[in-house]
Structure 1
């Protein structure tokens, strides 16, 4: 497992996915070596012990600001995306290559494109090892949307530059791996488009590989838990797409909801709120919580949950957490892109007036909200548990190995 940041604290969707995948693989009897950078957090003693229990070895590489700056300079010269450049780590790359050359691994699994350059391309011609790139979402699509909705001129320029660099990178990087993992059709099509734009063959080694949610932690709320008139958005409030989504909702939807329900409250739950989010606290029935011990508690207290994403791709953890909690949800089509929930389980609206109307209706019709929430949880239990997706991924590991070891000329398809 090759990763670009520490799996703890599990505050981001990718951290939760990597930690749960490590736990799953260990429980299934696989031996896992984790190669990761000392970025975005410090491990507690308990977290270090957890990693040691679930991994054969844990290799953590320092990534200083000087190293990030050097990587950025070298990356710009080679036209690499900024988010790939700053995670360049020569020691990780060298030690991983040595272990691969020694035949230590059946599978090399790289999570996110940031550390893709660390994985030896030679694996493609190695019959005993397969390489997987968990691209997950199209970063080109993601940064393009972020640029479109960014208010800061400087940040918008950076996102546009990153979109150009990532477009070029995504059109090629998949060719260095045996399999590329993407969450849904929108991401597959976005990468295909980049291939066409840059004159590359269209990606043909993709598999679907999403992630799930903890249905024991996110449980259906009891009626006594619900606070009438409470609307909630939950997510990291330092993450630009979440900030954009909340500001859009507050400016374009919330005034209509408050006009219809003056006592309604909008709770913005999530760690490290940006300054623009903190400014909303206490205004027009808005409560900005900051970091909370258990996000599930406040989610269960909501009468309605919202996810009005304007940017970001792949899948939305917050959305399946809402749904696993049996909540009535109003979301944008972008938010539902990766999860593809049916209309029986989720209301999808993109225009401000329609979004507001849906929220107001759910506040006024508790029975409708309850039915929607029940269907939402049923959908998550059937489609979005961790185990389901990881068992599918494990099958892909075995299938890729079997196909690669098959003698040349033998069909990959059953007769």
Structure 2
């Protein structure tokens, strides 16, 4: 086994948001197999905060600044006939660094995390190529268009990304998706699915960190009567913003008709202006970025994940389950996690009245919530450890049983 080039669209430290968590654990698994060289992007000085950790784990790295304004990326995309997602993540600096790495080091494999980074894989590279699409980005943009959001632009992005996702599948020795549902969706978009080696590697969870025994509930929340409902995530990510606004506008008024002191807590960095405008409304608290999400999960009577648009496996759901909290979520948010409705969580349609009716028996039974939380944590421990999730990576890189063992 030679050296490995790992290309990811964000600095994979710290592992504090969904895409960075997966990239972080992929990198750690690769570093156990051999020397790893990492090319990635940072949008701000804050995103470079993980550089020292990255340096300790890698043989070399390049962090390219991502400063291109989105309108400029859009103009470049239209002129070049490419998806905006690719032009937004195009960097001459990173392109040059990749070429130099392939000359200077004995690279036996390139591992790509996120489709935007596939543009850096040279056509003439002779080693193994594994591309982790994670989920089907083109389908996300199609969903936005179907919902009437910038329909022309999002439909164009969906169409061009579909072509790029197929090109990457044809180029790669293996193309990874995060769940069987995403893999089926990806295959359905392919012209020649038999020519693409599609594999599923799900998301894991660091259950030793997300352990209710190690996190006291947030004291301000527990000082208030409640019941308390918590939603976590990167709050400038459109599906998260949409879900939180739905709870605030549709669900909270109905909850407060039944529970006059009910509080909904939105926890996560970069809440949008639309969310911040609702902070302080009856029953609504927007916390923004917090140093540790675990106390907020620990303080929740119920964790909500009512996503209307969801791709792949939701880390927020796995984290809440690992913290032994009862979770009420939509079917979209449940994708890729083979938990049992009524045992490990409750799945509700995206309807405020139906969700209220589902929440009532949970809120009426502290013992029932405790049993569901215990079952949820046990399920996560058994089914979603990172070691189990990443065990196939060695075989995909041509390492056989030794690679699978090392990756664990």
| 1:364 equivalenced with 2:364 (yes/no) | yes
With the length of structure 1 as denominator, give the TM-score of the two structures: 0.86
* Distance of 1:189 and 1:95 partners within structure 2: 35
Where do residues 80-119 of structure 1 align in structure 2 (5 Å cutoff)? 80-100=82-102, 104-119=106-121
Q: Which is worse superposed, 209-218 or 199-208?
A: 199-208
Per-residue CA distance 1:139-191 (angstroms, 9 max, x = gap): 122222233446xx5x4443333222222322332111111010112211222
* Distance of 1:211 and 1:102 partners within structure 2: 33
* Distance of 1:223 and 1:4 partners within structure 2: 31
* Distance of 2:274 and 2:72 partners within structure 1: 32
SS of the aligned residue for 1:175 comes to helix
With the length of structure 2 as denominator, give the TM-score of the two structures: 0.87
SS of the aligned residue for 1:335 comes to helix
- Which of 19, 24, 38 is matched with 1:19 structurally? 24
* Distance of 1:385 and 1:186 partners within structure 2: 20
Indicate the residue corresponding to 2:406 in structure 1: none
Indicate the residue corresponding to 2:391 in structure 1: 391
- Which of 322, 333, 336 is matched with 2:334 structurally? 336
Per-residue CA distance 1:114-151 (angstroms, 9 max, x = gap): 1101011223xx2xx2001110100122222233446x
* Distance of 2:151 and 2:245 partners within structure 1: 16
Where do residues 209-228 of structure 1 align in structure 2 (5 Å cutoff)? 209-220=201-212, 225=217, 227=222, 228=226
SS of the aligned residue for 1:65 comes to coil
Which consecutive residues of structure 1, in runs of 5 or more, have no partner in the other structure?
403-415
Kept in 2, the 8 Å contact 1:5–1:38? The answer is yes
Q: RMSD across aligned C-alpha pairs, in angstroms?
A: 2.6
Which consecutive residues of structure 2, in runs of 5 or more, have no partner in the other structure?
1-5, 403-408
SS of the aligned residue for 2:133 comes to strand
* Distance of 2:45 and 2:201 partners within structure 1: 26
* Distance of 1:3 and 1:386 partners within structure 2: 18
Indicate the residue corresponding to 1:413 in structure 2: none
Indicate the residue corresponding to 1:122 in structure 2: 124
| 1:53 equivalenced with 2:56 (yes/no) | yes
Number of equivalent positions? 389
Kept in 1, the 8 Å contact 2:138–2:158? The answer is yes
SS of the aligned residue for 2:229 comes to strand
| 1:170 equivalenced with 2:161 (yes/no) | no
* Distance of 1:113 and 1:141 partners within structure 2: 13
* Distance of 2:214 and 2:60 partners within structure 1: 43
* Distance of 1:252 and 1:148 partners within structure 2: 21
* Distance of 2:131 and 2:141 partners within structure 1: 19
Indicate the residue corresponding to 1:36 in structure 2: 40
* Distance of 2:356 and 2:246 partners within structure 1: 12
* Distance of 1:306 and 1:267 partners within structure 2: 10
SS of the aligned residue for 1:334 comes to helix
Indicate the residue corresponding to 2:320 in structure 1: 322
Where do residues 287-326 of structure 1 align in structure 2 (5 Å cutoff)? 287-326=285-324
Kept in 2, the 8 Å contact 1:254–1:356? The answer is no
SS of the aligned residue for 1:357 comes to helix
* Distance of 1:71 and 1:400 partners within structure 2: 41
Kept in 1, the 8 Å contact 2:141–2:154? The answer is yes
Per-residue CA distance 1:204-255 (angstroms, 9 max, x = gap): 3111112222212211369984845111101111111001111122233222
* Distance of 1:224 and 1:58 partners within structure 2: 38
SS of the aligned residue for 1:360 comes to helix
Indicate the residue corresponding to 1:405 in structure 2: none
Per-residue CA distance 1:268-321 (angstroms, 9 max, x = gap): 111111111112211121111011110111001101001001113011110000
Indicate the residue corresponding to 1:208 in structure 2: 200
Indicate the residue corresponding to 2:68 in structure 1: 65
| 1:191 equivalenced with 2:186 (yes/no) | yes
Kept in 2, the 8 Å contact 1:149–1:244? The answer is no
Kept in 2, the 8 Å contact 1:328–1:370? The answer is yes
* Distance of 2:348 and 2:209 partners within structure 1: 28
Change (3 A) 1:180 1:72: same
Shift of 1:41: 4.5
* Distance of 1:115 and 1:335 partners within structure 2: 26
* Distance of 2:44 and 2:283 partners within structure 1: 33
